[in-house]
Structure 1
Amino acid sequence: MSGLYSTVSDEAVFFLCCIAVGALAVFLYDILRISRRIVKVGVSVVTAEDILFFVVAALMLFYVAYLKNSGEVRWQGFIGGALGVVLYIFVVRNRVVDTGTVLVRWFMKMFVGAVRICLFPVRIIFKALKKPIAVVAWYTGKSLRRAKRLARQAKLRVGMRAKGAFLMLRKK
């Protein structure tokens, strides 16, 4: 008689695990939905994400069947998974997506703010050096233009390469 109760309790545990896996699968899909709200992607990326999600969800359900039910696929596993999905959708789905989106956007703003604070001294240094660098660049450009003009008169070609200036005789 105790064997019957242990079998029923094992099946009940399996059923509850399948409910949890169904709810977990929808939670993972909600994470995908949150990422889609934050970063807009194309239809092909959404399709690839959905296919990957359904493969992972099926593997999760079969893994639970393997662990708890010796690999046997039974109807209560599918019903438990579907019940977990339905319970999750009716109880928490929209709240999770809305709250998750708000939290992710808030953390992104905090991260951007921290980066701006860290880069503030660098911005000040660049602003301070902007004018002297512009003057040097102007004089360098002026000198290069003057050298090119003189080279044209002397039939030479003057230019700049990555490793420095060069002079060549111009071909006629």
Structure 2
Amino acid sequence: MQEVVTAPLMFFLSSILLGIGLLGIYDILRAFRAVIQHGLFFTAVEDILYFMFVAVISFWFLCTYNHGELRGFFFIGIFIGMFLYYIKISSYVISWLIYFFSMITNIFKIIYEIITKPMISIQRNIKWRLKKEKKNVTMALKKQTKRGGQSGTKEKTK
């Protein structure tokens, strides 16, 4: 009799843990969205991919732990797990993840600046030199047209 009750109880408790884990993964997605703003299209794509992931994980969980049988307490367990996670620790996890993702993006910004600053300096230097050379060429062409199209040397006539 005890085995009959223990297996469904363990399955129910495992489904609660599954709900906690699934909402924890969604919190990662929410924190990522808070740090890196993107449009409606990419948000929809992320949500679709997340719910496809949830479907696959839930199907795998059902097949592994309950021989593929759908039970009402599976959904109740997932809901309870998500609800408890959302009420108790979701805000702490999201704030920590936002801090973590912000630090990572700041590191990438610093690396980007280290790489691009010399390139920008080189680009400005090249622009300045090209502008200077263009000015020299323009002045040389103006001098040449004032002389009637002759070059700087005179030909000797015999």
Higher relative contact order (CA 8 A, sep 6+): 2
Secondary structure at the counterpart of residue 15 of structure 2: helix
Secondary structure at the counterpart of residue 73 of structure 1: coil
Please say if 1:10 is aligned against 2:3: no
TM-score normalised by L of structure 2: 0.74
Q: Which has the higher strand share?
A: 1
Superposed CA offset, 1:130-166 (max 9, x none) = 3x873x4244313543576669x87xxxxxxxxxxxx
Which 5+ residue runs of structure 2 have no aligned equivalent? 150-158
Superposed CA offset, 1:29-67 (max 9, x none) = 111111111122222222222222222212222211100
Please say if 1:140 is aligned against 2:137: no
Secondary structure at the counterpart of residue 70 of structure 2: coil
**Matched AA of 1:22:** G
Please say if 1:107 is aligned against 2:100: no
Correspondence list, 1:88-103, <5 A: 88-103=85-100
Look up the match of 1:168: none
**Matched AA of 1:11:** P
Identify the match of residue 25 of structure 1 among 22, 27, 39: 22
**Matched AA of 1:140:** E
- Taking structure 1 as reference, are residues 58 and 133 closer, same or farther at Cα in structure 2, changes over 3 Å only? closer
Superposed CA offset, 1:97-123 (max 9, x none) = 11110121123223433554x549x73
Look up the match of 1:80: 77
- Taking structure 1 as reference, are residues 114 and 139 closer, same or farther at Cα in structure 2, changes over 3 Å only? closer
Asked if structure 2 preserves the Cα contact closer than 8 Å seen for 1:14 and 1:77, the reply is yes
Asked if structure 2 preserves the Cα contact closer than 8 Å seen for 1:22 and 1:80, the reply is yes
For the residues of structure 1 that align with 2:69 and 2:78, how far apart are their CA atoms? 15
Post-superposition shift, 1:87? 1.0
Look up the match of 1:51: 48
Which 5+ residue runs of structure 1 have no aligned equivalent? 155-172
RMSD, aligned α-carbons: 3.2
**Matched AA of 1:97:** I
TM-score normalised by L of structure 1: 0.68
Asked if structure 2 preserves the Cα contact closer than 8 Å seen for 1:18 and 1:61, the reply is no
Look up the match of 1:68: 65
